[in-house]
Structure 1
Amino acid sequence: MESAFAKMGFADYDTRNMACVLKDVPLFMRSTIAPAADKKAVPAERDGKLISAEQFSRITSLLYDAALDPKSWWQPCLAAIRDQLGANYAALIVRLPGHADLGLILSSAGEYRDAAVYPSEIAALCPFRGMPTDQVVTVTDVLSEAEWRASAYYNDFCKDMQCFHVIAADVATKDGCTYALRVTRPETSSNFDAQDRAFMNMLVPHVKRALNLHLSVHQDRQVISLYSRAMAQLMVGVVILDQNGMVIESNPAATGILEMQDGLKVSGGMLEANYASDNRKLQRLIRDALMQTGASRLSITEGVSVGRQSGQLNWGVVVQSISPDEWTEGKQRPSVAVFVRDTSGKAEPSIKLAQQLFQLTPAETALAIQLANGLSLEETAEALNIRRNTARAHLRSIFSKTGVRRQTELVRIFLNSVAWLGNK
């Protein structure tokens, strides 16, 4: 089978020469920068050093690593940009849509790393405010030196921090946010020149792609987390198996079921049923799903009832193949999903949400939840420590508000409602 690596046009390279593909390929010469008086403010200079493809690749690698990091740790990338440009600060300022004067500054300077609020009064004075996105500029592009020295932005914010020379670019992401990339040098250093601008012009498109990538990955994680919580609240356990039938992961509901070892368990990294006859059926379904995964993009879904030693209702187990991705390679690939529903467990929906959905009182909601969990009216009255006549009165009121006439119908509409998806 042709590998994804080969599909991208690198089939002729082997591991020995791939290590040298980007090594020491010059992009352009770095400018020479005068040494700073404050040696702590500016890193040691590397006069005339080539900016190679290898160096640029390292910086962009840090950039994309930051985009994929759920904690959004951007400082290593900012530090690499700062060092490459011989700067004292490199910062990424985040501004939310509709809040142009508010934001967060992620910065890197020497050993100092920080994240701070970007005050609105400072943002309002910024000479780069409102400039076109994806365009690299320096202070001298927007102000004369005299205007810069006289500006409130320089005197109130930049001067004490030794930020005299500034090279800047604003990047707009697809969600409407604006990110401001700022790199600075003290007055004792030379201004950013054409070579520095060329480096920034090469970097800015990568910054934009990385920020959009971070946005997409973050949104995907949020959606996946939402789906996972919803499945768990509906008491649906999900176990994911790889191409060898080994368990990769399970959601909280499935983890709780497997820990009980009441009919289902994980043994040697594989999902098994405790009873031999049930296990044969389960393993057959898993094998069939794995064969389907390798042969077709169409998924199959089959089910089996699994007995429990506790004598409680059997587990309902559904096995579904996961369609393969032609770009997915590696030792572990999601191939089979196994769904398990705890039909005997007691659910605890949000009382507040149930009240809002059915316009019930707290007492009526508590009674409806107990009925939905399988208790009789008499058992519910005892569990809630109320008189049977009181329970009957609550039930009549519930019937009136929901428009149902029988207790079984009430349980059905309650179980089928979205009340179970709310937080407790």
Structure 2
Amino acid sequence: MVAGYRAIHSNHMIPLRPDPAKPMPAHVSADLSVEHFSGILDKLYEAALDPAGWPDCLEAVRAELRGNYASLIVRPGGADDRGLIVSAGVGRDNINLGNPQIALSPFTGMPPDRLVTIADVISEADWRASPYYRDWCAPLGVFHVLGADIGTRDGGVYGFRVTRPEDAPPFSAADVALGRLLLPHIKRALNLHLSVHQDRKVNSLYSHAMAQLMIGVVVLDQTGQVIECNPAATAILDMEDGLRVVGKQLEATYANDNRKLQRLVRDALTHPQAAAMGLTEAMSVSRPSGQLSWGVVVQSVSPDQWTEGKQRPSVAVFVRDTEGKSQPPVRLAQQLFQLTPAETALAIQLANGLSLEEAAEALNIRRNTARAHLRSIFSKTGVRRQTELVRIFLNSVAWLGAVEK
């Protein structure tokens, strides 16, 4: 989850003027300037967008609270999982990524979002006598602990800890107050990360699903320039067989096709509400190779007032490869239709448009063997004609099985 350290520079940090209606709590150290607090928040929200920023964020917290470590327990670990702890320490002397003894911590099971010190949860004598302190904390020079368990909207719990060695003073009321000011921001940053990460994963799944179905998606901005392509679209454009990108503009090879394509794009840009109204336009684009034309659909993307005037997705161009041949995972096809490997291989060839004789030749089997396989496939799938077999096979989920995770 964390790929290492990444320096975060903010050359344009603007000091925030304190809100007189919300003064800093009186017991927060006067040494904490608005600029310092703003700097910590800057790193915190950078980390929300890129997990590689968490060590720098924790380092800023550690330095402000004069600790020897500041850590975020992402996963506590268990019998089959070492867990994950992201930390910053003095001289970058970081805690191991996992802590197999985390379940023994006196902080385990705390009410969420409540910041406490070690003195709030256990007596000093019991703390010194505990196996967790003796075997884990003492060797690391950890004695004083300030911590909270933070609950996120998905039901997860993250541990936030700042520590000091025994020869340092315990965390003061001012330190605790600062921690409590930071806690809601850490919670928001974690929730923001979860939302962004989930959106990225879902978008990635959609993109790869479309690629498996041989549907290319080209996204244009408000000036008609290409800003994004999914893998299927990239493969289609790389062929330069009827469609291409020239100077960031999507073009068709033949003049008549290109005039129509540009008109459809202009119309979609001129009428940004068309997508909400379900108004889309379609055309076919001829290919110099002589293969079947591309099927193209142009659709407007509803505008977002927050990005008005900025580079934003404005038009989606969908391209279908009518001759493209996909290869679904044989195992999934077998499971779906209860076919043998040989029967599955034949069914895939037929679904890709080959005749029975062509499929037999491609698979290097006799025609009589292919016919026997086909009869068995008919029996298992309940169809009576080859065209029906192709239809149910093409409409099955087997073709999505190779979607990247």
The letter for the 2-side match of 1:221 is R
1:170 maps to which residue? Answer: 149
Measure the CA separation in 2 of the matches of 1:321 and 1:85.
51
2:220 maps to which residue? Answer: 241
Q: Say if 1:61 and 1:20 are closer, same or farther in 2 by CA, change over 3 A.
A: closer
- Report how far residue 176 of structure 1 moved: 2.1
Map of 1:151-300 to 2, 5 A cutoff?
Answer: 151-293=130-272, 298=277, 300=279
Q: Could you tell me which of 348, 354, 358 is aligned with 2:327? A: 348
Q: Say if 1:97 and 1:156 are closer, same or farther in 2 by CA, change over 3 A.
A: closer
With normalisation by structure 1, the TM-score equals 0.86
Comparing 152-161 and 195-204, the one that deviates more: 152-161
Secondary structure at 1:74 match in 2:
helix
- Report how far residue 295 of structure 1 moved: 8.2
The letter for the 2-side match of 1:267 is V
**Contact 1:96–1:177 under 8 Å retained in 2:** no
**Contact 1:85–1:196 under 8 Å retained in 2:** yes
2:64 maps to which residue? Answer: 84
Map of 1:385-396 to 2, 5 A cutoff?
Answer: 385-396=364-375
1:143 maps to which residue? Answer: 122
Measure the CA separation in 1 of the matches of 2:274 and 2:339.
53
Q: Say if 1:396 and 1:274 are closer, same or farther in 2 by CA, change over 3 A.
A: same
- Report how far residue 101 of structure 1 moved: 9.6
2:5 maps to which residue? Answer: none
- Report how far residue 214 of structure 1 moved: 1.0
2:6 maps to which residue? Answer: none
1:19 maps to which residue? Answer: 14
Secondary structure at 2:339 match in 1:
coil
What stretches of structure 1 move > 4 A for 4+ residues in a row? Answer: 23-26, 28-31, 96-102, 294-297
- Report how far residue 149 of structure 1 moved: 2.2
Identity of aligned residues (%): 65
Measure the CA separation in 1 of the matches of 2:237 and 2:225.
14
- Does 2:47 match 1:66? yes
- Does 2:281 match 1:302? yes
Comparing 57-66 and 105-114, the one that deviates more: 105-114
Secondary structure at 1:116 match in 2:
coil
Secondary structure at 1:313 match in 2:
coil
Measure the CA separation in 1 of the matches of 2:330 and 2:274.
47
Equivalenced residues, count: 390
Q: Say if 1:296 and 1:303 are closer, same or farther in 2 by CA, change over 3 A.
A: closer
Q: Say if 1:412 and 1:293 are closer, same or farther in 2 by CA, change over 3 A.
A: same
CA deviation string 1:40-89 (max 9, x = no partner): xxxxxxxx7621222112111211111111x4441001000000001110
The letter for the 2-side match of 1:344 is E
Unaligned 5+ segments in structure 2 are: 1-11
- Report how far residue 223 of structure 1 moved: 0.7
The two structures, once aligned, show a CA RMSD in angstroms of: 2.6
- Report how far residue 20 of structure 1 moved: 4.5
Q: Say if 1:96 and 1:316 are closer, same or farther in 2 by CA, change over 3 A.
A: farther
Unaligned 5+ segments in structure 1 are: 1-16, 32-47
1:75 maps to which residue? Answer: 55
Measure the CA separation in 1 of the matches of 2:402 and 2:368.
31
2:111 maps to which residue? Answer: 132
The letter for the 1-side match of 2:68 is N
**Contact 2:215–2:320 under 8 Å retained in 1:** yes
